[in-house]
Structures are given as structure tokens and as C-alpha cells.
Amino acid sequence: MSTIHDQAMNYVYQQVLQRLLSFFSRAERTALQLLIQRLAVAAGGMDRIGEFKVLAIQSGTRDCCYSLALLRAAQLSIAGRAPATFQLRVANLRSNGVPASALHNLHRSFSALFLHDDPRVELLMVDHREILPFNHLAPICDEGREAGRLDLLMVGHRREWDEDLTLWDDQYLTTAEFYGQVARWSNGVDALISSDNARRQEQFLDGLDRAVRKVGIGELSRKGGGFDELFSLLDSLGGDCYRELYSQDDRMPWRPLGEFEACRRTSYIGIDDMVVGKMEERWPLLSDFLGFQADDLMLEARTGECADPLVGAYLKGLQASYVEGRTYEAGVSEYQQQCLATMRRRNTPEQVCERFESAFGNLSDLAEHRSLAAASLQKNFGLNEPQLVCLLFAPFISAGAGLERFLRTCHPGMLVAMPDLHRAMQGLHAPEQVLQWMTDVSGLPLRLISRLYAMEAAPMGDHVAKTPELPEHDVTLGDRSAEG
């Protein structure tokens, strides 16, 4: 790179910094200086900052975009006053159901911050255990979409039938693998930086603990250190959190092969205390500078949470009607009221609460809501309602202990085929139509049904999964479409 080009790019970067700083309040400028000091200490001094590489996880939420802007301001501020600045690795995890708008938010914020062509910045995405250059237009690959669907079902079936269905527990495992592997790839990183507060860190670790119990790889040996102990916990889990659910042939290795460090040196740097001011005070930076655009009634969900409240209400309605002996309407109404109560407890603006209520409409529109939610689940997760109902009953686990209850409630005409169903799940001969029915009603291939049949349920005891609270973020408005 020529000296003239370097000088031109440095001028551009300083212009970006000045525009960025123009959106910062006095408190944010003070927080920025504290962040620079924290990074310098972690690097071992400002003279070593050029050798220091940090990892920022990006999902396209407002918090993520704001934190990245703060981190970029620190990187460019140091570059303007020191011979070198820290390196930045930005990584995004592709998974089923991620709204396309979130990826476009990432792209716009990356562009506004001039990250794309900066040699000090790596922009990555992970799709089906492969680390790739970030591309907001690339849909999740077909193999990744199918793997995500199977992970969701297999983890969901590892439960007692009367436990609440936490449909997204597989996300904790996928995210844990993602954190661990993207931190080790290509010479690794020195630190993960996140603005998650202590409560959110504990929520993630609680969910991960529940998920690892479900898949039979033990439990987390936590010491109460939050994300300070994250990477030691990830090391204790091993690199493949799904190894007990699938055979070796069904498991995809992390790629590119041979490019992951065997020993990770990553620490954690929390910056939640540096995210100052109220959300409405950050909107000019988010919208005018970063180009952030909100979704139409989508919750800014964190790991293990459903982003679409219509889908959340749908699941609650199905559980109420099929498992709890109540009506579908009662489950939907309960979910709606829980969401509103949580929003108001977190001081969500009343107009946002009102828009949330109006989006649900009158409960006389329940059929339309159910149809929209079912279409969303089919499009984004490859699941239909019969497969979701089957998942509610978890009929295959523990040698088919819940099979008769499932059949009597949902498919009484198949009771006569129970002996054939048990034989099929044991890998013995059974009529072809019985095998096809099992696959259709569950969404699982027979080999995976047989693996569930040979496993015991993973009762949570004191860790029984309950319907998660609404995510801590407000409801936002914009486009409803999801990633292709």
C-alpha cells in the first residue's frame, strides 16, 4: 500500500472519527476515554496495543451496533495519537430465523464505520460451522438451515413432556461453540468485548447450563464469575456440544480445517458500564449515522429467545391447548399480558406498548395470528404445526415412554400401530407406512428418532425450563421479512 494511499485512508478514518464523536454526549466521550484506558491495560500498555486483537460479536441489534461504534471510536482515537492501534475481529453467527433486517443493519453500520477495507479489521460470519467473510446478502446455506432445524428438534425432545417447551435452547449450544471457535480461528484473539451486563451474562450461562444438561454432556462447573469464566467453561465442554445427539457421520467439523489454535488465550473485557445515557439519546447516532432501521414488531431477542411475539404467542397457545388442558386463546392471551407487563416494568414507552397491543389485535383475529405464526415457523425453521405438537409431547425419549399419551391425545387412529412404532424405533422391521408417518409427524429421520428412543429424558429438577421473559430490549418497528 503506497504512502499516499495510507495518508488518504488515514484522513478518511479521522473524518469518520470526527463525525462519530459529533454524536457523542459529554458522558459518552468520557466513557470512550475510559474504554481506551481499559484496552491499554488489557494489552499490557499502549506500546503493545498494536499486537492486541479483540473480538466483537454482532447480531444486528441496537446494543450491538452501538457497542461497535464505541469500539471503533476507541480504535480510531488510538490510531490518531499512537503509532499503532488494536486489531478488531467482528463476527456474526448465521442461524435460522435471523431477520434480514438485522443483517442489513450490520452492513450499514459496517459501511458507516468504514470497516470493510480497513486492514486492522476482520469482518466474519459463521454458517454451518464454517468461518467465512461477512456477506449480508448471502442466505444461510441449505445444509446449515437443515442442521439448525434438526438441532432444534433434537434438543427440544430431550425433556419430560410436562416441562415447558423452550424451543430455542439449541441456540445456547450453537452460540457457545461459535464463541469458542471464532476466538481460536486464525491465530485467535486476545479478548472478547461485550456490553452484556451481569444479569444478561447469568441468563446466558443459565441457559447454556440447561442446554448442556439436555444433550447429556454434563453441566457447567460455574464459580459465579459471569463471562470472566466463559472461555474456561467453553473449554470444559469441548469443541462439539452436539456429540451425544449425533453419530460421527452426522457431525460437521469446524472449517477451514487446520486453522484453529489448539490453545486459546482469550480473556473477557466487559464494557456494560461504559454504555451511558438512555436509549432515546442514542437514536441519532444509531439511525442518522449507523443507518439502523428497526423491525416491525420484532423483539430484539437474545440467545434462547424468540424474536417474533406472534410465534411466541403461538407456542404458548399450543402448549395451553394440548398439554395444559386450557384453550389456545387462553395461552395467547397469557403470553400477551406477560409481554406487556414485562415491557411496562422495564419502562418501555407507552406508545410502543400500545403498538404491541394493536399488532395482536382483537382475539377474534386468532385464526389469522395462528396462520401467520405457523407460516413464519415453516419458512424460518422448517417446522409445521403437527411436528411442533409432537415436540410438545416428546414421545420418543426414554424408550417411547410418552408415546401412548401422545397418540391418545393427538393421533388416536395410530394406537393400533404402537407395537410397530416401538419396533421401528428399536431399529427393527416395521411397515413402510408406519416409518413414513413417524418421519412426517416428527420432522426427524428414523435414525435420529432411534437415538432419542435409546436416551433418557434430561429432567431439569430445579432447572425446569420456564417460559422466558421478554427480552430486555424494547419492541421495534419496521420490515417483518426474514433471511431468505
- The sign of the dihedral angle between the CA atoms of 414, 432, 152, 385 is negative
Angle in degrees, CA 194, 297, 60, rounded to 5: 30
Q: Work out whether the CA dihedral 39, 40, 41, 43 comes out positive or negative.
A: positive
Identify whether the C-beta of residue 271 lies closer than 8 Å to the C-beta of residue 195. Answer: yes
Of 382, 405, 378, the residue nearest 394 (C-alpha): 405
Dihedral of the CA atoms 196, 199, 201, 204 (nearest 10)?
-120
Q: What is the pLDDT of residues 92-126, one digit of tens each?
A: 999 998 888 889 999 999 999 999 999 999 999 99
**Alpha-carbon gap, residue 197 to 231, rounded angstroms:** 17
- Cis bond before residue 256 (omega within 30° of 0): yes
Determine contact, residues 56/93, Cβ cutoff 8 Å. Answer: no
Q: What is the pLDDT along the chain (484 residues), one digit of tens a residue?
A: 468 877 888 889 999 999 999 999 999 999 999 999 999 999 999 999 999 999 999 998 888 999 999 999 999 999 999 999 999 999 999 999 888 888 999 999 999 999 999 999 999 999 999 999 999 999 999 999 999 999 999 999 998 877 777 888 999 999 999 999 999 999 999 999 999 999 999 999 999 999 999 999 988 989 888 999 999 999 999 889 999 999 999 999 999 998 998 766 899 999 999 998 877 788 899 999 999 987 655 555 667 777 677 888 899 999 999 989 899 999 988 988 888 887 777 666 677 677 777 766 655 678 888 898 999 999 989 999 999 999 999 999 999 999 999 999 999 999 999 999 999 999 999 999 999 999 999 999 999 999 999 999 886 654 443 433 444 433 333 333 334 3
Neighbours of 138 (CB within 10 A): 15
Q: Are 409 and 420 in contact (CB under 8 A)?
A: no
Residue 237 CB contacts under 8 Å (≥ 6 apart), including other chains? 176, 180, 212, 217, 220
CB contact at 8 A, 217 and 244:
yes
Determine the Cα–Cα distance for residues 385 and 88; give it in Å rounded to an integer: 43
Instruction: Name the nearest CA neighbour of 96 among 299, 369, 382.
Output: 382
Amino acid 434: pLDDT? 96
How far apart CA 255 and CA 129 sit, in angstroms, is 6
Q: How far is CA 354 from CA 196, 299, 316, 317, 322, in A?
A: 28, 15, 21, 22, 30
Domain spans of the chain, in order of start: 3-289, 296-385+471-478, 395-456
What contacts 400, CB < 8 A, 6 or more positions away?
Answer: 421, 422, 425, 453
- Cβ atoms within 10 Å, residue 410: 16
**Alpha helices, H only, 218-364:** 230-237, 279-283, 309-322, 328-345, 350-360
Helix-helix angle 198-214:230-237, to 10 degrees: 10
Chain centre to alpha carbon of residue 37: 31
pLDDT score at 337: 87
